[in-house]
């Protein structure tokens, strides 16, 4: 009888522990969830992907480098990110004392969508076979490349967030909307007209009847 009781109590305690790990926020469950995301079992939320892209991509250079990147500079981000993954692998070998966070492929898929949305997506400007070659052995990135933009959840969501955008696309919408309106055309600067009082021949250049007048 005593044995049965011990077994029941042990089971009860174990159940509580498992429930605790699942339902109470704690480092262990956070770790499990972030591993599951990095390995593609759980999807990244758009803003979470945004934070991750900023964190992972500024390990070796500032985001300025990414902000300046443009269609004239090189291939789209879907081909740049695998290139950066190679840098990380090389740095890990050549600089063993510095710690670099690696990018898993599901993370790369999320990160590409972030920069596409914030800086620009010029995948259509390149030949498909060239991009596929640059992507190399990353099958999930290839699948992303072949997915229409409106079916990429992170990219589609962040593309609508104008306030997060950086790079050559920034404010493009606003600028194009204002093109052609008179206040947007540069005008030669006119010196402010001097107020003349014809009765004193312009010698007395201020007007005491003006309510804003002060001495
Ligand atoms: C391990 C270090 C490292 C990490 C991490 C890294 N980069 Fe880079 N990145 C470099 C180096 C080195 C260069 C310069 C290489 C060159 O000029 O070819 C560079 C250059 C760039 C450029 C400019 C390329 C050009 O032709 O002007 C872009 C854009 C860029 N990185 C984007 C990213 C993005 C996006 C990420 C995150 C996925 C990232 N980088 C993460 C090392 C890194």
| Number of domains observed in the structure of the chain | 1
Handedness of CA 111, 115, 120, 126 (dihedral sign): negative
Under 8 Å CB-to-CB from 66, ≥6 apart: which residues? 57, 115, 119, 166, 167
Mutate to test the pocket of ligand 1, among 50, 54, 63, 80 (most ligand atoms within 8 A of CB): 80
**129 falls within a domain:** yes
Mean pLDDT split into 10-residue runs, the chain, 215 residues: 91 92 84 90 95 95 93 95 93 91 95 97 96 96 97 96 84 65 58 52 52 61
Query: Tell me, what's the pLDDT at 167?
Result: 81
Mutate to test the pocket of ligand 1, among 65, 85, 109, 144 (most ligand atoms within 8 A of CB): 65
What is the C-alpha separation between 187 and 142, in angstroms, rounded? 50
**5 falls within a domain:** no
| Cα 21 to averaged position of ligand 1 atoms, centre (Å) | 38
56-80 in b/e form (b: 16+ CB < 10 A) is bbeeeeebeebbebeeeeebbbbbb
**121 falls within a domain:** yes
**195 falls within a domain:** no
**160 falls within a domain:** yes
Q: Which domain holds residue 127?
A: 41-169
**176 falls within a domain:** no
Say what the pTM is. 0.75
């Amino acid at each position: 009888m005593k044995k049965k009781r011990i077994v029941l109590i042990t089971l009860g305690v174990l159940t509580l522990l498992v429930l605790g790990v699942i339902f109470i926020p704690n480092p262990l469950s956070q770790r499990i969830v972030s591993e599951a995301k990095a390995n593609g079992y759980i999807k990244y939320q758009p803003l979470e992907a945004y934070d991750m892209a900023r964190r992972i991509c500024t390990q070796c250079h500032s985001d300025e480098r990414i902000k300046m990147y443009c269609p004239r500079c090189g291939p789209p981000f879907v081909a740049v990110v695998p290139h950066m993954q190679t840098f990380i692998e090389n740095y890990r070998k050549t600089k063993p004392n510095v710690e670099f966070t690696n990018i898993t492929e599901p993370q790369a898929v999320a990160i590409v969508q972030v920069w596409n949305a914030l800086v620009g997506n010029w995948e259509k400007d390149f030949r498909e076979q060239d991009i596929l070659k640059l992507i190399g052995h990353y099958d999930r990135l290839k699948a992303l490349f072949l997915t229409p933009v409106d079916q990429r959840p992170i990219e589609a969501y962040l593309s609508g967030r104008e306030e997060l955008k950086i790079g050559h696309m920034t404010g493009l919408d606003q600028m194009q909307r204002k093109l052609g309106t008179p206040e947007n055309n540069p005008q030669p600067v006119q010196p402010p007209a001097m107020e003349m009082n014809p009765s004193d021949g312009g010698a007395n250049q201020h007007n005491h009847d003006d309510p804003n007048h002060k001495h």
